[in-house]
Structure 1
Amino acid sequence: MQRRERVWLFDLDNTLHDASSAVFRHIDGSMTDYIVRALDVPHEQADFLRRDYWRRYGATLLGLIHHHGIRPAHFLEHTHGLPGLEDRLFAHAHDKAAVKRLRGRKYVLTNAPRGYTRRVLGALGLESVFDGIIPIEGMRMFGQWRPKPDRRMLRHVAARLKVPPHRCTLVEDTLAHQKAARSLGMHTVWMQRYLRRNAHGPEVGVYLHRKPVYVCARICSLQKLHFC
């Protein structure tokens, strides 16, 4: 590895493709339905728990593990099956070339499960562009699930990739993840393309023209990464 090599860490949904339009409502619905069945609660309460655990823990799954003992593999299998997923996906034509041109190693770092991630990358024609993927199953430490924005996990990822945090660049749409990465010295790039039209989750209502101090750069196209 070159001494000053940069490692790029890309989020998946709403960063590499338009997940707000294509899949989020389907995943949200699948999670809510799962909670209804698993916890035997009304739909309204299940939907509240899904959103509440996401806000509190960074991932609905963590709340379900902590409070209800839900088996992670079972949850992920039954919420990310999504028949017809590939037909709903969309990415801009020049994204693949833009990412491929970047110097350094490139990984997908996502709170989504491995199977779903591979399906999305395959449908978008992006799988061969990346050196590897780090899905939620790869974010466990000492038996505990620690997805983004867990700082310990981010530090551990950098160590696994044999690069100091300041040589990593996180390209991400979620500000909480950017804040955690920047606190470790990582370079942070806030992807706003899909948030402008259809924000989802924590970014709903965020003032996109204001750049938080922990965000190094804002972009609306992956082609702009060459200037970051």
Structure 2
Amino acid sequence: MNHKTWIFDLDDTLHYASGGIFDHINTLMTEYMVRHLGVDEVEACALRSRYWAQYGATMHGLSTHHGIDPQQFLIETHPVEILQQWLQFEDRLAESLSALPGRKIILSNGPQHYVEGILQRMKIERHFESVYGVERLNYVPKPHLDAFHTVLAHEGLQAERCIMVEDSLPNLLTAKELGMTTIWVSKDARKPAHVDHRIEKISQLLRLRLN
């Protein structure tokens, strides 16, 4: 049987990043911007939020508008050895992933060292054939089409043969426009038109029998 390929986001999809991990990353980003842009904390927070909303990644806005070196910014704001203390995920996540037929790929806006480090600490890295952090996307984050095109081209995939599992609705909209099956990881009761399925946790994927 020719199975479809699963493309997974990482943060708030495979683990619960909202709260501990994201809060600490946001604090580190704000401190970095205060040091390097010469702004106060209030303005740094506003810029961080604006760039994330506008570009899908704060790093993209800082690089575009302020000439910040994206690699150095990502290294200083994503210290896995510190962030791992807030790592939370499903107890049987590895079993759920193992039971899903088909290739599995990670597509994240996070930096490569962070994505790989978090996967290793969850002991699920062996389930993924390829891992794409933002560096491998040429620093063009989701939901931009180029991010998806990069992965599809590198992996030799057709969008219609892919299943995107994500917590971000804008990212799923791009995936749907390309022809992917879309799965929204959310506790929200609604299901927008560009979402094919909604789940609250990864173990529920098995019930969908999509592959």
TM-score (normalised: structure 2): 0.94
SS, match of residue 19 in structure 1: coil
* Residue 220 (structure 1) aligned with residue 200 (structure 2): yes
- Contact residue 136 and residue 147 of structure 1 kept, 8 A: yes
**More displaced, 80-89 or 20-29?**
80-89
Give, in angstroms, the shift of residue 83 of structure 1: 4.3
SS, match of residue 157 in structure 2: coil
Q: Which of 129, 154, 167 is matched with 2:148 structurally?
A: 154
Structure 2: 5+ residue runs without aligned partners?
none
What is the 5 A alignment of 1:142-181? 145-181=139-175
Which residue of the partner structure matches residue 94 of structure 2?
96
* Residue 211 (structure 1) aligned with residue 191 (structure 2): yes
Q: Which of 41, 57, 60 is matched with 2:58 structurally?
A: 60
Using the aligned pairs only, state the percent identity.
38
Call closer, same or farther: CA 1:48–1:150 in 2, change over 3 Å. same
What is the 5 A alignment of 1:122-137? 122-137=120-135
SS, match of residue 75 in structure 1: helix
Tell me the distance in 2 between the aligned counterparts of 1:62 and 1:48.
15
Tell me the distance in 1 between the aligned counterparts of 2:105 and 2:184.
16
Give, in angstroms, the shift of residue 225 of structure 1: 1.3
Which residue of the partner structure matches residue 203 of structure 1?
none
Tell me the distance in 2 between the aligned counterparts of 1:129 and 1:27.
26
Partner amino acid, structure 1, of 2:203: Q
Partner amino acid, structure 2, of 1:187: T
Tell me the distance in 1 between the aligned counterparts of 2:39 and 2:153.
42
* Residue 34 (structure 1) aligned with residue 32 (structure 2): yes
SS, match of residue 46 in structure 2: helix
- Contact residue 155 and residue 184 of structure 1 kept, 8 A: no
Which residue of the partner structure matches residue 184 of structure 1?
178
Tell me the distance in 1 between the aligned counterparts of 2:143 and 2:30.
22
TM-score (normalised: structure 1): 0.87
What is the 5 A alignment of 1:109-128? 109-128=107-126
Give, in angstroms, the shift of residue 84 of structure 1: 2.8
Give, in angstroms, the shift of residue 159 of structure 1: 2.1
SS, match of residue 39 in structure 2: coil
Aligned length: 208
Give the alignment's Cα RMSD to 1 decimal. 1.3
- Contact residue 80 and residue 118 of structure 2 kept, 8 A: no
Call closer, same or farther: CA 1:114–1:55 in 2, change over 3 Å. same
Tell me the distance in 1 between the aligned counterparts of 2:81 and 2:201.
29
- Contact residue 26 and residue 82 of structure 1 kept, 8 A: no
Q: Which of 7, 11, 14 is matched with 1:13 structurally?
A: 11
> Where does structure 1 differ by over 3 angstroms across 4 or more consecutive aligned residues?
none
Partner amino acid, structure 1, of 2:189: H
